[in-house]
Amino acid sequence: MKKYELDSTERAIIWNTFLSLAYTSAGSLKRTQTPGWKLPYWRSNKLPSQEILKLQLLAWCILSAESRASHLIHEAVEEHDLSKTKENELRHQPLSEEWKALPSVFKQNFDVDFSKNPHKSVKSLSDLRNDLFHVNYGYLKNKLDELTSDQVLNLFVNFVDAMEDMNVQLKRGGIKNARPEVLRIADPFRH
């Protein structure tokens, strides 16, 4: 293994860190909806705290989704004979295209349906990615204004569900059904 390449366990640590940060952001955003919760002090030249928390949660969810797709692609190279050339091609695709390609990469007959949840959340995160990370100010501010806190929390919930559904569809580790312990990650934010 080259020095800059990580094994599956090391990649999982990074992926779990992004997911943990998304979870922490979801908890902070949820608390802003709780009566009596006091907003922290923010200087007047920043977005309002609820907008900051929505922006933060979106960023962590996008990084979680990107790192999850990347981890699965690396796993396919290691365990399922995906060529380095194909890996490189996939890594230069938008998140939604990487996600949609995963079933064929793992030789599973499953079509990712971005028109409904839970995978619709991955498409939404993919669509937000460039505007967030390339800081397209106008579009980003409009999106923050349009998205309610509940909608952003639902993106997190549905991403967790999409991640586990993908695990089931790919039959990773012999998984046949969604694992309750994974789905419980999002339970505090479900309606």
Give which of 117, 112, 97 is closest to 159, Cα–Cα: 117
DSSP-derived secondary structure for 110-122: ----TTSTTTHHH
pTM above threshold 0.85: no
Q: What is the reported pLDDT for 4?
A: 58
Q: What is the reported pLDDT for 71?
A: 93
- Name every residue whose Cβ is closer than 8 Å to that of residue 127 and which is 6 or more positions away in sequence: 96
Q: What is the reported pLDDT for 42?
A: 46
Q: Under DSSP, is residue 117 helix (H, G, I), strand (E, B) or coil?
A: coil
Q: What is the reported pLDDT for 51?
A: 81
Determine phi and psi for 48, rounding to 5 degrees. -60, 150
- pLDDT block averages, 10 residues each, the chain of length 191: 68 77 84 67 60 88 94 90 92 95 93 97 95 81 88 96 96 92 94 81
